[in-house]
Amino acid sequence: MNTRIEHDTMGEISVPAEHCWGAQTQRSLENFKIGGERQPEEIITAFACLKEACARANAAVGKLTAEQADAIAAACKEIRAGQWSEEFPLVVWQTGSGTQTNMNVNEVIAHLAAERGVALHPNDHVNASQSSNDTYPSALHIAAALAVANRVLPAARQLAEAFARLEAAYPDLIRIGRTHLQDATPLRFAQEVSGWRELVEAPCRMLEAALGELCRLAIGGTAVGTGLNAPKGYDEMVCRELREITGLSFQPDENKFHALTSKDALVFAHGALKALAANLMKIANDIRWEASGPRCGMGELHIPENEPGSSIMPGKVNPTQCEAVTMAAVQVMGNDAAIGFAASQGNFQLNVFLPVSAYNFQQSARLLADAMDSFRRHCVEGIVPDAARMRENLERSLMLVTCLTPRIGYERAAECAKTALREGATLKEAVLALGLMTGEEFDETVRPEKMV
């Protein structure tokens, strides 16, 4: 392997000649051979947004020349376009402040600028007016906000729209309700689907509320929150540039001592992701229960048959999209615990559990967005209710007896239901046998369409 010699404050080190990173990146590669999980690409993209914004702000106050700022911006645009993804090899399990990833980005930008004839120092120019202690927390928030705004919310809204279409398609179909896994009173199928729709829409409102907190950035706090070596007003200048680059409403956190050490906004936002995951778990479980069968289960829904379900049982088809959603949901719930633990570990002026927080948040956002898209396309949009099976179950249900309570009382109504169950009779037969109502009175009273 061809190498070149790079140096930092610790001395010289050999770096692969074909790569753009420098000495500090190489030291991290050699010192942290832990796991295979690399820094999320979303974090690198966020850093590329941040570094361009910082360069523009530094040029505005005279810390960089226009040429230097333009060179940094050009490199950042290419990084955001994914041109240099192999130049960011560092793992999650490194320094807890993410310093080595900040320097990895600085070194790559400086190298790319040098190839264009603009000499930049990774620390003095690319990292001007910054510290890893305010850039990584800022990149963490930028990446999280972009993931929520551009991936999770659009996927969730499309899923909610699919449920709205299913809801509108069957306005009059009545089915038996179930509570405690037991028969309950009737409801319209559209009413049940409206619940599924709201189970997606409610966490969207929570995520929108969380965006406001994620858009508060630590940038400008530098090492410990005092803003040492950052010009006055620098934080607002950077955020103004970020608003232009991303379209999101980033603003400085007014208390940098809070911004550097607390990850409460991330906990809050991921809590909304967990709420969405929990609701998706509920929806997927409902659908696979109601589609169970085809002959020995509930069989009230038909879902798309996407692939063979068994290597031994011919003709078997499984609710695989529901299973994928529920697996993603449990991973998100686990990630939430990790983020909560990590956020509790802020000591003095810095939280040093940043990369693991970033990794878990981005995995959750990616999983939920992808799972919702897949679930919508390959399951929800193909759901067809079995009206005949729903009607049969509705007519066989003993909980229709509930509408008799105002006429015959709770205890006699319970006696009717128990008699019918014990004797294998219909509810009407039990009521007539007990002499509590005439057939005509029963038919007039027990009308499911009036119970919904």
Catalytic residue among 180, 344, 374, 397: 180
**Apex CA 106: angle with CA 248 and CA 54, to 5°?**
40
Q: Residue 76: which H helix or E strand, with range?
A: helix 66-80
Query: In the annotation, is 111 catalytic?
Result: no
Report yes or no: 96 and 355 within 8 Å, Cβ to Cβ.
yes
- Report angle CA 192, 193, 196 to the nearest 5 degrees: 100
User: Which residue in the block uniquely carries the two structure tokens 């709205």?
Assistant: 164
Identify whether 270 is a catalytic site residue: no
Quick one: angle between helices 132-147 and 354-378, nearest 10? 10
Contact by Cβ (8 Å): 144, 269: yes
Q: Write the CB contacts of 432 (distance below 8 Å, at least 6 apart in sequence).
A: 438, 439, 442
Residue 40: DSSP 8-state: P
Helices (H), 170-263: 189-214, 234-246, 256-261
Q: Tell me which of 14, 85, 249, 310 is the catalytic residue.
A: 310
For residues 82-104, b (16+ Cβ closer than 10 Å) or e, as one string?
eebeebbebbbebbbbbbbbbbb
DSSP per residue, 222-244: TTTSS-TT--TTHHHHHHHHHHH
* Buried/exposed 395-406: b ≥16 CB within 10 Å, e otherwise: eebbbbbbbbee
Q: Would you please indicate which residues are annotated as catalytic (active-site) residues?
A: 180, 310
